[in-house]
Amino acid sequence: MTSQPPSKSKSFADVFGGSAGAVGAAPGRVNLLGEHTDYNDGYVLPIAIPQQTHVAIRAIIGDTTTVYAADLERSVQFTFASPPTEQFATYIYGCLVEARIEGINVPALDIHVASDVPMGVGLSSSAALEVATLRALRELLDLPLDNVRIAQLAQRAEINHAGVRCGIMDQMASSLADTTHALFLDARTLHVQLIDLWPGTAVLVLDSGVARSLATSGFNQRRAECEQAARMLGVAALRDIDADRDAAKINALPEPLRRRARHVVTENARVLRAVKCGDPREFGALMNASHVSLRDNFEVSVSQLDWLVTSLQAQPEVYGARLTGAGFGGACVALCESPALTRIGEMVLSAYLAQGLRGRVLVPPDRAGQVLGC
Ligand code: GLA
């Protein structure tokens, strides 16, 4: 309905007066392996990042919900009958509508959002916002929603209200993962298992500075291509296709469906191998192979990401590197020897910036909670 930019870093009390009735927090995530597999009923392996989104809420009388986003310095109002047009508020609106459809009596709310999850780079800032909103609502209304149900409602919010036909990886990761384990998820059964990372290893995430938006990128098109390939192969989802057993059938598909299906089936196989593999070098080789497949078969890389990934892979202390998230720009992830993490991040980034490109180290965040770079 309305949108105005108030001044920076206001607290809940500054904006609304008084205190919040409940708070919820949720992290962003970086996906280590298993890209574009979740909406094919496949396997993924994300890990939570240190950055989180915090949502504070209070029930109010009336119909109008107000959302104040501290980082964007924006205030937006909406009612159930009059949805917001601003993207960030759409995620919140979607969560509240989906909660209502679930039978929950959702009142009008004052909502304060503060987040240090980097936006628009493939680290699931939208899922963190959705999950934090639903956690705050759960606390406020004492709702019997478990973390999986919250992830499912959050995914519906994104699909039905933000226009992205996403899988469930991001919301499950934000709702169930932590920063010290990878979360193995079977996106069909929603079976999860926390996997220990090797001692002495750590995750590095670099932003290519190439902006991407899932709603406008080829994300929905890729998903449609996968679904078409599954239909032509006579299965419910590409998860049901085996790279070796069904090689001839995959090869018989027309392009680009052949390459899209090849990516998904080999990526699923890589995740299944990764959860069993005994050392980080083997894991890193699977990450490297994933990048090649995303670049050549799924065609979601860009030259800047290829450059960063190649540079990272050239460092002896890096086990493996790949683009992460949906692609079309955004970030890349590397698994490194932890003592070398900061040095490698700064070295690769400075060579990248020297070409006149924009980029940042996103994980680990620097001590002030800010990301490094420009
Ligand atoms: C986005 C979607 C996820 C997943 C990834 C690609 O992050 O939200 O569901 O499909 O892209 O792996």
Domain presence at residue 321: yes
Ligand 1 geometric centre to CA of 114 (Å)? 23
Q: So what's the pLDDT on residue 217?
A: 74
Question: What is the reported pLDDT for 93?
Answer: 98
Structural domain that includes position 286: 196-367
Band (5; pLDDT cuts 50, 70, 90): very low
Say what the pLDDT of residue 163 is. 85
- Give the position, in ligand 1's atom list, of the atom nearest the Cα of 44: 12
Q: Considering the domain boundaries, does residue 338 fall inside one?
A: yes
At 164, is the pLDDT very low, low, confident or very high (cuts 50, 70, 90)?
confident
CATH number of the domain to which 253 belongs: 3.30.70.890
Residue 260 lies in a domain: yes
Residue 330's pLDDT is what?
95
Please pick, among 110, 170, 207, 242, the residue that the annotation labels catalytic: 170
**Do 114 and 54 meet the contact criterion of CB atoms below 8 Å apart?**
yes
146-156 tens-digit pLDDT? 999 999 999 99
Higher-scoring residue by pLDDT: 217, 102: 102
Is 236 inside any structural domain?
A: yes
Mutate to test the pocket of ligand 1, among 35, 36, 91, 169 (most ligand atoms within 8 A of CB): 169
> Looking at the structure, do residues 179 and 218 belong to the same domain, yes or no?
no
Residues 214 and 170 in one domain: no
Residue 232 lies in a domain: yes
pLDDT at 369 over 90: no
Q: Percentage of the chain with pLDDT > 90?
A: 90
Decide if 241 contacts 218 (C-beta within 8 A): no
Residues 349 and 203 in one domain: yes
pLDDT tens digits along 36-57: 999 999 999 999 999 999 999 9
Domain check: are 226 and 212 in the same one?
Answer: yes
Residue 215 pLDDT: 59
Q: What's the rounded Cα separation, in Å, for the pair 328 and 118?
A: 16
334 shares a domain with 228: yes
Domain boundary among 193, 227, 249: 193
Q: Are 246 and 269 in contact (CB under 8 A)?
A: no
| pLDDT tens, position by position, 348-361 | 999 999 999 999 99
| Helix orientation angle between 169-176 and 147-162, rounded to the nearest 10 degrees | 140
Same domain for 12 and 56, yes or no, is yes
The answer, yes or no, to whether any atom of ligand 1 lies below 6 A from the CB of 76, is: no
Query: Do the beta carbons of residue 264 and residue 238 sit within 8 Å?
Result: yes
Domain boundary among 193, 228, 261: 193
- CA of 85 from ligand 1 middle (Å) equals 23
Q: Is residue 373 part of a domain?
A: no
Tell me what the pLDDT averaged over the chain comes to. Answer: 94
Cis? peptide before 365, omega within 30° of 0: no
Q: Which of 33, 35, 38 to mutate to test the pocket of ligand 1 (most atoms within 8 A of CB)?
A: 38
Q: What is the pLDDT of residue 117?
A: 96
Check whether residue 175 and residue 201 sit in a common domain.
no
Task: Name the least confident of 2-16, 111-125, 218-232.
Answer: 2-16
Q: Is the model's pLDDT at 7 over the cut of 70?
A: no
Query: At residue 6, does pLDDT exceed 80?
Result: no
pLDDT one-digit tens code per residue, 181-209: 999 999 999 999 999 999 999 999 999 99
For residue 214, what pLDDT band results from cuts at 50, 70 and 90? low
- Domain match, 91 and 208 both: no
pLDDT in tens, 257-274: 999 999 999 999 999 999
Is the CB of 36 within 6 Å of ligand 1?
Answer: yes
pLDDT at 367: 52
Q: Is 170 a catalytic residue?
A: yes
The count of structural domains within the chain is: 2
Report pTM. 0.94
pLDDT at residue number 86:
93
208 in the same domain as 179 = no
Q: Is 65 left (phi over 0), alpha (psi -120 to 50) or beta?
A: beta
For the domain that residue 54 is a member of, what is the CATH number?
A: 3.30.230.10
Q: Which of 163, 193, 223 is the last residue of a domain?
A: 193
pLDDT of residue 183: 98
Residues 170 and 277 in one domain: no
Please give the single-letter amino acid code of residue 138: R
Calpha distance 126→140 (Å, rounded): 21
Q: Is residue 241 part of a domain?
A: yes
Place of tokens 């628009």: 120
Q: What is the pLDDT of residue 374?
A: 44
Check pLDDT > 50 for residue 3: no
Q: Are residues 146 and 207 in the same domain?
A: no
**318-323 sheet: strands from edge to edge:** 318-323, 331-337, 201-207, 360-363, 372-373
Give distance in angstroms: CA of 57 to centre of ligand 1: 28
User: Could you tell me if residue 107 is inside a domain?
Assistant: yes
Question: Are both 295 and 344 inside the same structural domain?
Answer: yes
